[in-house]
Amino acid sequence: MGAAMRRLEDPRLLRGQATFIEDLELPRQLHVAFARGEYPHARLRTIRVADALQVAGVVSVATAYDLGARRIPAVVPHPALRPCGQPILADGAVRYVGEPIAVVAAETRATAEDGAAAVQVDYEPLQPVPSAEAAVEFSAPVLHQQLGDNLAGSFDVRVGDPEGAFAAADRVVRGRFYVQRYSGMPLEARGVAAVWDAGRNRLTLWTSTQWPHTVREALAKLLELPEQAIRVIAPDVGGGFGIKQDVYPEEVVIALLARRLGRPVKWVESRREHLCTAVHAREQWHDMQLAVRNDGTILGMRADVLSDQGAYTRSLGILCPSLTAAGLPGPYRFHNYQCHVRVALTNKAPAAAYRGAGQPEAVFATERVVDRVAQELGLDPADVRRRNFISPEEFPWEVGTESAQTPVVYDSGNYAEGLDRVLDLGHYADWRKRQKAEPERWLGIGLGAYVMLTGLGPHESSLLRVDPSGELLLVTGASPHGQGTATALAQIVASQLDIAPSAVTVLHGDTDAIPFGVGTYASRNAVVAGNAAHAAARAVRAKAFALAAHLLEVEQADLELSEGGIHVRGAPHRRITLGQLSAAAAPGKPLPEGMPPGLEATHYFLAPRATFASGVHLAVVEVDRETLAVRILEYAVVSDAGPLINPVIVDGQIVGGVAQGIGGALYEELTYDEQANFLSQSLMDYCMPSAGQIPPIAVAHVYTPSPLNPLGVKGLGEGGAMAPPAAIANAVEDALHSAGVRIDRTPLTPTRLAALLRRG
Ligand code: SMO
């Protein structure tokens, strides 16, 4: 634990020995393609499937009429969530481009595509709702008649005495900030395969998901089966980033088709389908007001959040905007806060989680308006932050908000140390000097500070078993998809039993292997899966000592564990290995009174409260005076996630997150036109940064342990993505401030900057 070792997962991934959904070859499998809506908003008059059925090789064409009017259930409840869940296939209307209407199963993928193209839909186009602002206008067409308006939910958060704070303030600093629609773009898009065993009434479903146990639960409800009749397997998953923390229509449709057709069925998402229909994220308006004193002290915050949910909610409901509302106060010491949230329904793809899930949006809005405080008062933005940070003695700090039904209580932190370290690491003072010395250059420096909810409960599971060979099997309910979790968990187990991490095989992503499991999201694995593995390893260790004492006929206190074996202190030849202990613990072997057979332990780590990681990012940019391209000259990150399990993995996670944040700051946008037609249908139209756009990223750490778990760890997977849009936007505004440019949204493309410069 703590060693900077390379990932145990990588050799087989690099050698092409992994199994992704596309690699599955099931006997007699059928391939699936979806006929998808081409209009943003239309009534479906008729769906003609006759021609599709004529295509040679097409076996079946099904619509909602055939598969039943099922809707995706909300897995994450919210008191304000209203019923606008997505049907598994369009239910008489389509409400976004790409909504699935019919599903075609055929002998080959190409035939299935031909069949899908031959499905004839007679549409009656309806007036679309192209934006959240349009959705809440009085005259807007209503997308879901039963709601009477276009709100998937609205709610208020109130803490302390906001009116008092604003009355006592010297001034109110304002801003209205918009975060564009963008999302995760995993190398492996989505994919689902299913087999129905008619004799046993049993479904096996492979899906590229972050939470197989949750998919199982949803399928059990929708297919009216006991959970034990469903096995969900997440094989190797090539990236998730939040977008695979959902229950998707395609997962339910493939399961139903396998049962209906009595043949295995497989669907692999195309990149175009991914762009049109996988989770979109982040699109949100934030009207911000800070009550401040002239010395820069923040007394309170008012916020109005208008979120663009797209056409439906799915399993996460309105979780993301609720995380924004809970997170807007950030690392700052004020107790007076008020936030009004409206979640608007529009004719766009449904929105849900993407790396940080509502929190990077909050960081953007808060860090932009905090910079405005510095500008208006003529203060250094670093000083304004330092003055208002919660200080180390003030923890636990009750924000007074709630996230996912959990009170937001920051458990520990040292935000000022993070700031001081990042100012050093990013050469803040030097850059300020250069900025003065070279006024002909558009140089800017920006900061972004964040606090991030991590390690969300309710629990995570671990089953640890010692094999007679001396190797170990760890089954975890977490379902990682590229984070290096198997290595981290192996390190935790190995350090308890003094063995090599490579002797621990970690099995994940299989609901038959462990009955309860939660999944991988909310930067939770180190905290919940890590502590579950730690506790299971402690239990196995304790049992090994008890059994060794029995077999070696000594007191436990006289035993020592080293290199995977237990020996009598001072008599290393009187030794019994973990493998021998496992064999000696088999049923029927002489065991101490009351000891159950098997050298294994199962542990469920409960996390009633979340841990809160934090960090500060610093970006130095230069805006090219000719092309208006933004070049990042320096990027520094100081992260605090408590003690590190594996620094190599941690730094890799941070760099990956920063790259995604840079994408959001400068390049990526899922664009719809004013009629809600979807314009970003390929990676030619959706610009992701590549290595050429990502500068070297300097990373350093602060370590404040969490008092909430034995390892003291906090989550970190999403940390890198929290602050880049804030830090980079702050830097670009700093660079162009003298030219009159004010930044209120991302991505900061040359086109957008040109418009701002003309206006300025
Ligand atoms: S956006 Mo994440 O998978 O909580």
Our CA dihedral for 306, 715, 456, 708, rounded to 10 degrees, sits at -130
Distance CA 529, CA 531 (A): 6
Looking at the CA of residue 355, tell me the nearest atom of ligand 1: 1
Sign of CA dihedral 748, 749, 752, 758: positive
Centre of ligand 1 from the C-alpha of residue 454, in Å: 10
CATH assignment of the domain containing 218: 3.90.1170.50
In a domain, 117, yes or no: yes
Question: 3-state DSSP call for residue 265?
Answer: strand
In a domain, 421, yes or no: yes
Percentage with pLDDT > 70 across the chain: 100
221-243 burial code (b ≥16 CB/10 A, e <16):
ebbebeeebbbbbbbbbbbbbbb
pLDDT (tens digit per residue) in 3-29 = 999 999 999 999 999 999 999 999 999
Residues 101 and 19 in one domain: yes
Distance CA 716, CA 711 (A): 14
Question: 3-state DSSP call for residue 630?
Answer: strand
Residues 599 and 625 in one domain: no
Centre of ligand 1 from the C-alpha of residue 51, in Å: 41
Residues 435 and 581 in one domain: no
Q: What is the DSSP code (8-state) at residue 510? A: B
In a domain, 150, yes or no: no
pLDDT (tens digit per residue) in 689-703 = 999 999 999 999 999
Residues with Cβ < 8 Å from 438, sequence gap 6 or more?
none
pLDDT (tens digit per residue) in 568-606 = 999 999 999 999 999 999 999 999 999 999 999 999 999
Looking at the CA of residue 240, tell me the nearest atom of ligand 1: 3
Residues 524 and 625 in one domain: no
State how far the alpha carbon of 651 is from the alpha carbons of 434, 487, 540, 693, in Å.
29, 14, 31, 19
732-755 burial code (b ≥16 CB/10 A, e <16):
bbbbbeeeebebebbbbbeeebee
Q: Does residue 355 line the site of ligand 1, with CB under 6 A?
A: yes
Distance CA 699, CA 657 (A): 12
Q: Does residue 357 line the site of ligand 1, with CB under 6 A?
A: yes
In a domain, 374, yes or no: yes
Residues 348 and 382 in one domain: yes
Q: Are 153 and 82 in contact (CB under 8 A)?
A: yes
CA triplet 14, 20, 21: central angle to 5 degrees? 165
Single residue among 268, 300, 335 that ends a domain in this structure: 268
Identify any residues that bridge with 701 across adjacent strands, giving them in sequence order. Answer: 639
Residues 522 and 472 in one domain: yes
CA triplet 87, 89, 94: central angle to 5 degrees? 85
Centre of ligand 1 from the C-alpha of residue 725, in Å: 17
pLDDT (tens digit per residue) in 498-542 = 999 999 999 999 999 999 999 999 999 999 999 999 999 999 999
Residues 600 and 564 in one domain: yes
Single residue among 606, 632, 649 that ends a domain in this structure: 606
Rounded to the nearest 10 degrees, the angle between the axes of helix 724-736 and helix 750-759 is 40
Centre of ligand 1 from the C-alpha of residue 243, in Å: 7
Q: What is the Cα 497 distance to its own chain's centre?
A: 32
Inform me whether the pLDDT recorded for 37 exceeds 70: yes
- From 245, 282, 528, the mutation candidate for ligand 1 (largest count of ligand atoms within 8 A of CB) is 245
pLDDT-derived band at 663, boundaries 50, 70, 90: very high
Question: 3-state DSSP call for residue 140?
Answer: coil
Q: Does residue 708 line the site of ligand 1, with CB under 6 A?
A: no
Q: How far apart, in Å, do the first and last CA atoms of the chain sit?
A: 54
Mean pLDDT score, 169-173: 98
Inform me whether the pLDDT recorded for 404 exceeds 80: no
CATH assignment of the domain containing 363: 3.30.365.10
Q: Does residue 244 line the site of ligand 1, with CB under 6 A?
A: no
Mean pLDDT score, 653-667: 98
Sign of CA dihedral 584, 589, 591, 595: positive
Domain, as residue range, for 258: 10-126+190-268
Q: Are 464 and 493 in contact (CB under 8 A)?
A: yes
Centre of ligand 1 from the C-alpha of residue 185, in Å: 13
Q: Does residue 397 line the site of ligand 1, with CB under 6 A?
A: no
Centre of ligand 1 from the C-alpha of residue 315, in Å: 13
Atom 3 of ligand 1, residue of closest alpha carbon: 242
Sign of CA dihedral 156, 161, 164, 166: negative
**Helices of type H across 553-646:** 578-584
Mean pLDDT score, 426-444: 97
Residues 81 and 213 in one domain: yes
| The pLDDT of residue 218 | 97
Widest CA span of the chain, in angstroms?
86
pLDDT-derived band at 69, boundaries 50, 70, 90: confident
Q: What is the Cα 382 distance to its own chain's centre?
A: 29
Structural domains of the chain, count: 3
Looking at the CA of residue 210, tell me the nearest atom of ligand 1: 3
Distance CA 134, CA 140 (A): 6
Centre of ligand 1 from the C-alpha of residue 327, in Å: 15
Region of residue 596 (left: phi > 0; alpha: psi -120 to 50; beta: else): beta
In a domain, 173, yes or no: no
Distance CA 661, CA 618 (A): 13
Q: Are 373 and 295 in contact (CB under 8 A)?
A: no
In a domain, 149, yes or no: no
pLDDT (tens digit per residue) in 221-233 = 999 999 999 999 9
Residues with Cβ < 8 Å from 186, sequence gap 6 or more?
238, 239, 240, 241, 243, 244, 481
Looking at the CA of residue 520, tell me the nearest atom of ligand 1: 3
| The pLDDT of residue 760 | 65
Q: Does residue 242 line the site of ligand 1, with CB under 6 A?
A: yes
Residues 297 and 438 in one domain: yes
Identify any residues that bridge with 300 across adjacent strands, giving them in sequence order. Answer: 291
Percentage with pLDDT > 90 across the chain: 98
pLDDT (tens digit per residue) in 285-343 = 999 999 999 999 999 999 999 999 999 999 999 999 999 999 999 999 999 999 999 99
- From 185, 355, 406, 485, the mutation candidate for ligand 1 (largest count of ligand atoms within 8 A of CB) is 355
Strands 571-577 and 565-568: antiparallel
In a domain, 144, yes or no: no
- The 10 Å Cβ neighbour count of residue 163 is 13
Mean of per-residue pLDDT scores for the chain: 97
**Helices of type H across 262-343:** 271-277, 319-327
Residue type, 230: I
Looking at the CA of residue 242, tell me the nearest atom of ligand 1: 3
Single residue among 577, 606, 635 that ends a domain in this structure: 606
Nearest to 334 by CA among 380, 296, 283: 296
Residues 391 and 432 in one domain: yes
pLDDT (tens digit per residue) in 704-752 = 999 999 999 999 999 999 999 999 999 999 999 999 999 999 999 999 9
Question: 3-state DSSP call for residue 432?
Answer: helix
Q: Does residue 522 line the site of ligand 1, with CB under 6 A?
A: yes
Residues 259 and 288 in one domain: no
Q: Does residue 352 line the site of ligand 1, with CB under 6 A?
A: no
Inform me whether the pLDDT recorded for 242 exceeds 80: yes
Distance CA 141, CA 94 (A): 14
In a domain, 133, yes or no: no
Residues 296 and 254 in one domain: no
Q: What is the DSSP code (8-state) at residue 291? A: E
Q: What is the Cα 142 distance to its own chain's centre?
A: 31
Contacts 24+ apart (CB under 8 A), 570-577: 576/548, 576/551, 576/552, 577/470
Q: Does residue 245 line the site of ligand 1, with CB under 6 A?
A: yes
Centre of ligand 1 from the C-alpha of residue 244, in Å: 8
Q: Are 91 and 69 in contact (CB under 8 A)?
A: yes
Q: Does residue 504 line the site of ligand 1, with CB under 6 A?
A: no
* Strand-by-strand arrangement of the 42-48 sheet: 93-94, 42-48, 120-125
Tell me if the pTM is above 0.75: yes
CA triplet 497, 522, 220: central angle to 5 degrees? 90
